[in-house]
Amino acid sequence: MSRLPKGCTNVGGSLASAMQKCRSEMISHMHSYGYQTFWPSALQLFESAWEHLPLSLRKRLITLNTPFGEPCCLRADITLAAVSYLASHFSPEERPLRLCYADRIYKTPVRPDIYLEGFQIGAELLGWEGEGADVELIFLLLQSMDMLGLEDSFLVLGDVTFLQQLLSEIDRKTGQSLLSALEKGSYAEYFSILKSGRVDTYHAQRLSEIPSLKGDLHILREAEILLPDNTSLASLKKILSALKDLGYGNRLKVDLSLVRELNYYSGPIFDVYISRHGRSIGGGGRYDGLLSSYGILGQAIGFALDLELIASFSKYTLAVPSIMVWSGGLSPSRVFSKTEPIRQKNTPLEISWNPIRDDSIHLARMRKLQWWIDLSENTVMELETGEIAALGEWI
């Protein structure tokens, strides 16, 4: 019996077609704004990956040795490969670098997930200063989602510098425990730490407000009460204001308890959701910390999304052939000549070379196609009703 290794997957049929169309359209849109296609290596040197990856990904690396004896891991995230590419191929004068990609990633699964493989699509803007870069990438992301028929998508934004500033006032170990609780979404654990006596009353009262700082854009006003100088929220406010001016205000939510690794991310962060799906389909943010670990000064922002999930909810999900064209014994050259006017209508079709007419019709009905065309008779049959019309009039 032939089977795949546990945790691996093949994708075919309508979902694979939808994934390809989503990839093509999203990458094409990024190209129009100067982003270059990037194809990363599937292997990364273990020592390099371990040094730069956040702890949450270090725990999930899949390791192996190459035939040359080098300890490696399968790439768990493409952002690291993109920054490494920037560091090794581009001088400071050549920056910023804009990259876009779509490829597989490999991670040890976390329950209840069982899959080792995933399909990631994303973009990175590396080595650029200013909030304009943040707005650019998020704006192009939202535009891309609209192009794919995902107008019900929305972003939840936070800022790690806000948490950094509040947690810097308590001891580091307790701060890490609070971050861990927020990352797991365990508010019970979070409040238990605050009540344990490890945090003084003044700071515990301020930190107890964080889980409730989520909702519409007005939440920022409440957050400014906790940090009157509001310098840690300045970038987030500018991004939200710009995206609102661009018409995306109703697609933005704020969650100042949103957590990422503080030594990796360094400013505004976001998760991406589709209202028809209960979990995040990916996210991104500013990660100047990763850039600095390579000795590169400047800003970096990127996003990475689950391509399979995007395709599953996209307008291309049902884009399967709806027409079967029967050759009817005609030569291939004649078939393709007569098929061309149909194909130009941008309706997916499938050619049937089966010599038996009834077998071709039977297969078309099994596949739940809408139309069956007889090129030898120049007729079209609507498969549900059996009604027949002239091909020329139908086209």
**Tens of pLDDT, residues 299-331:** 899 999 999 999 999 998 865 568 999 999 999
Q: What's the pLDDT score for residue 228?
A: 65
Inter-residue contact 305 to 145 (CB < 8 Å): no
pLDDT of residue 127 exceeding 90, the answer is no
Instruction: State yes or no: pLDDT of 221 exceeds 90.
Output: no
pLDDT at 356 over 60: yes
Measured distance CA(306)–CA(315) in Å, rounded:
16
pLDDT number for residue 155? 97
**Residue 280 clears pLDDT 60, i.e. is over it:** yes
So what's the pLDDT on residue 331? Answer: 94
Strand order in the sheet with 71-74: 43-45, 71-74, 63-65
pLDDT at 271: 96
Model's pTM, two decimal places? 0.85
Cβ within 8 Å of residue 132, ≥6 positions away? none
For residue 265, the model assigns a pLDDT of: 81
For the ranges 86-100, 242-256, 258-272, 380-394, the lowest mean pLDDT is seen at: 258-272
43: enclosing H helix or E strand: strand 43-45
Question: What's the pLDDT at 263?
Answer: 61
Q: Helix and strand tally (H, E) in the chain?
A: 16, 17
Q: What is the pLDDT of residue 320?
A: 59
- What pLDDT, on the 0 to 100 scale, is given for residue 1? 55
HSE, CB side, 13 Å, CA atoms: give it for residue 321.
18
